[in-house]
Chains A and B, each alone.
Chain A
Amino acid sequence: MSEKPTGTGGFARVARAAIEQIATPVVSVVLAMLIGSAIIAAVGYNPIEAFSALFAGAFGTPRQIGETLMRATPLIFTGLAVAYGFRAGLFNIGAEGQLFMGGLSAAWLGVVLAGLPQPLNIVIMIVVGALAGAAWAFVPAILKARVGAHEVITTMMFGYIARYLVSWLVTGPLKAPGQIPQSVQIAKEASLPRLTDLLPMLGTGRAHLGIVIGVGIAVFLWWVLKYTTLGFEARAVGFNPFASETGGVSVAATTVKSLCISGSLAGLAGVVEVMGVHYRLFDQFSSGFGFTGIAVALLAKNNPIGVVAAAILFGAMSAGAGSMQLNADVPQKVIFIIQALIIFFVAAEQIAKFILRPFEGKKGAENA
């Protein structure tokens, strides 16, 4: 202890920290899959068959890899949304609602902006979609900052409100001609190109530019959290609002900013779904991306780069679930059970740590 303090943690420390960071999520996923297998086996299916079908469905061919990436894309955004909120001590459980509003803005702009060049369209729609998501988070954010109304309830309620709003719009004002309640299709130049449009050799099917945007934003967010005062203040408030306040950070302003940033990221999830996948809006255009985003964020331990990896894992599960149901006859809802179990195991770190204990004998000896 008498040696001079150093500026950095040293390479060994960093390496060990990185391994420790990854160990819990990996163990959690494995445990969750084991229990999932047990459930599958208990009701009379073959879990090995099921998971092979799932894996093949997710990664079997370039086209299926593309399917995985496509399904991972909205999860990157909702995962980042939830993760950023968590970093600031906020639980944006209503990402689903902000996603709907982002999707709504894209479905509308995609029609009215028809004729503008595609790059310009993409930029405008992303900016406006982010603003729409932020706007939907703004009221819960203000209520949290001003009167302390818990964001878990308010954002959830705003989620339901958004759903009914969209439901009304696609059956009324925005409805496309015909029987099906859905909005008018957006213009070609307002859509996100598929990766195969840019590089046909990839053969990645429905995967679209959204995943590239998502990864870019994840890296940007990582930088924001680490190297900007905005991120510093968000993290400070997330850990200890009282000490932050004493250090001149406005807790109310940081809360509003953080929840709105979170909302804007969730809004983008809706934007890329409309621009890259469905080209229009309808009631069920999100299959619970906002909620899966919670699992993604937790599995990633709220690290933006980790969110990308976790989103791809969940994207793969979602892409493979169909083939699992088709080829192994296992109801695909089992992946929700696995998701929930992953959340448990990641959140209850002791379980994973308990399992990892035999592998850490050396470290334990050092401490004793």
Chain B
Amino acid sequence: MGGSVLEVREITKRFPGVLANDRVSLSLERGEILALLGENGAGKSTLMNVVYGLLSPDGGSVHIDGKPVSIKSPRQAIDMGVGMVHQHFMLVEPLTVTENIVLGNEPTRGIAIDFRRAKADVAEISKRYGLAVDPDAIVRDLSVGMQQRVEILKALYRGAKILILDEPTAVLTPQEVHELFGVVRSLVAEGLSVVFITHKLEEVMAAADRVVVMRDGRVVGETRPADTDTAGLAKMMVGRDVVFRVHKEPRTCEGTVLSVKDLRVLDERHLEAVKGVSFDVCAGEIVAIAGVSGNGQSQLIEALTGLRKVLAGTVTLAGMDITHASARRTIKAGVSHVPEDRHRRGLVLEFDLAENLILGDHREPPLARAGIMDTGAITRLALERVADYDVRTPSIKVTAGTLSGGNQQKLVLAREMGRNPELLVAAQPTRGLDVGAIEFVHSRIIAERDAGKAVLLVSLELEEVQSLADRILVLFEGRIVREVRAGEATDEELGYYMTGGGGSKLTEESVTVGVEVE
């Protein structure tokens, strides 16, 4: 290892009301895999966005190969050999793989883009690093794992020597994660240096040479995986001991609440996204749908909650047919829905808390009679819910947009659970939350179950699925390919089903990879 290729010294970055980076220093050695570990909001992405020129720091300096540099734009970062793969991919979906890779550095012949040369270049790089991908494919049609490859190729095409990966595993299956780490190792072997941002302890243990931990905008520690364990890392990351397993009493089925039979649903492009799904959810039971993003989860939820047309099949709630019910009737029938994207579907950010809390019940007495709303009743209900669900706010008259992410999610829970539903459909209920808020959401979901409600949980996080669910259904390409009881399957096994595993060859492969990691 020959000296630091990237060093940040005393970087400070302020946002209105937040000190996102407080005199942060760290260095990356040549040929090293450095994990930058921290909770959501710890300031990891801010720091890397500063390095990549997307944000300008309020103080401190960045050094590349020992020389101080001023990076004011991604263009300059690219020119200095820094590449970044963002958590939300920076890919233009309707364009081809090649177009995406060369965008901004297009080879030309005359005034036209030399697509032949572009394709040859892409093929050459993907061969060198073992990142096979079809250069003519439209990005929109690729799997998430493939899209990530395109992102990495984009950085390599631009001659990146330092690669920053922002939460690269968030959307991958365990198998894809292993593959990704394989790729990262081969990149390092070719002389690159890699920083990956994560909040997942196992990944740090499995892949990093060294780990820097951030909390509340500061570096709070640095260690090597060999010198610590996950519990030690967790304590460093959160600042206190963390209980990993949720406490949960075993329960038996107390009667079917939700019954889904042969459900078929189309997506926006009129392709069948849910292809004949059948399952039941009992009262007092949490059923989790596990799967890689884009395998029909969104369409399944939308169909169950009256937001999407059902093509065929039936949905029954406590004996009542709600297959073709509107969202409004579905709510009235007793289905509550914590949507996967709280900004888009969960809240009206411009509405105040009271208005958000009544959305969905706003036509029902005592909140409204004959179309006229009762402000007194609304205020009373809002104050009660805000207190019950510990939403931290100065007033119920502030807009939902002013709350922190955790409080916004509490607001959604307050509305959806406060309605006292028969069935709670929770989609990725902890996405983007910090550990404290995650614990709160999990305990509330368990409380619903213990109160005899049926809960359908959809999550991409296997850890969440494993710790909450009584029963796990694996969804792959619109079909339920596996059902297991809690604790019956390891993450690797679930991951294997999530990617459509079935043949023995794949099983062996995934097992070997698993062993290799341990």
Contacts and interface: CB of A to CB of B under 8 A. Distances in A.
A5 B411 CA distance: 14
B127 interface: no
A239 B394 contact: no
Interface stretch (B95-103, B164-172, B282-290, B337-345): B337-345
Given A229-B373, A230-B371, A243 B359 contact: yes
Contacts of B329: 248
Interface stretch (B244-252, B261-269, B348-356, B461-469): B348-356
A156 B337 CA distance: 39
Nearest to B391: A5
Contacts of A233: 362
A250 interface: yes
A253 B63 CA distance: 58
Contact of B395 (A6, A240, A247): A6
B348 A227 contact: no
A232 B355 CA distance: 8
Contacts of B391: 5
Given A7-B379, A248-B360, A243 B345 contact: yes
Nearest to B350: A239
A227 B344 contact: no
B272 to A, nearest CB: 22
Contact of B307 (A13, A246, A367): A246
A6 to B, nearest CB: 5
Given A228-B371, A232-B373, A240 B392 contact: no
A227 B359 contact: no
B395 A236 contact: no
Interface in B283-309: 305-307
B397 A8 contact: yes
Q: Which of A6, A227, A229, A249 has the most CB of B within 10 A?
A: A229
A5 B347 contact: no
B345 A246 contact: yes
Contacts of A5: 383, 386-387, 391, 393-396
Contact of B397 (A1, A9, A227, A228): A9
Taking residues whose C-beta sits less than 8 angstroms from the other chain, chain B's interface range is 35 or more
Given A3-B394, A239-B351, A242-B345, A248 B373 contact: no
A248 B419 CA distance: 13
Contacts, number: 104
A256 B349 CA distance: 23
Interface in A32-46: none
A286 interface: no
Given A5-B395, A228-B373, A250-B326, A243 B348 contact: yes
A245 interface: yes
B238 interface: no
A106 B384 CA distance: 52
A244 interface: yes
A273 to B, nearest CB: 31
Contacts of A243: 344-348, 359
B481 interface: no
Contacts of B383: 5, 7
Nearest to A2: B392
A240 B363 contact: no
B335 to A, nearest CB: 10
B363 A247 contact: no
A227 B372 contact: yes
Nearest to B332: A248
B344 A242 contact: yes
Interface in A211-251: 227-230, 232-233, 235-236, 239-240, 242-250
Contacts of A249: 327-328, 359
A295 B487 CA distance: 64
Given A8-B397, A243-B345, A1 B392 contact: yes
Interface of A: 1, 3-10, 13, 227-230, 232-233, 235-236, 239-240, 242-250, 367
Which 10 pairs from chain A and chain B are nearest by CB?
A248-B328, A247-B359, A247-B360, A9-B397, A239-B350, A7-B379, A240-B348, A248-B327, A248-B331, A246-B345
21 contacts: A5-B383, A5-B386, A5-B396, A6-B395, A9-B397, A13-B397, A227-B372, A229-B362, A229-B363, A229-B372, A232-B373, A240-B347, A240-B350, A245-B345, A246-B337, A247-B331, A247-B359, A247-B360, A248-B330, A248-B360, A249-B327
Given A7-B396, A232-B373, 5 more contacts: A7-B395, A236-B359, A244-B359, A247-B360, A249-B359
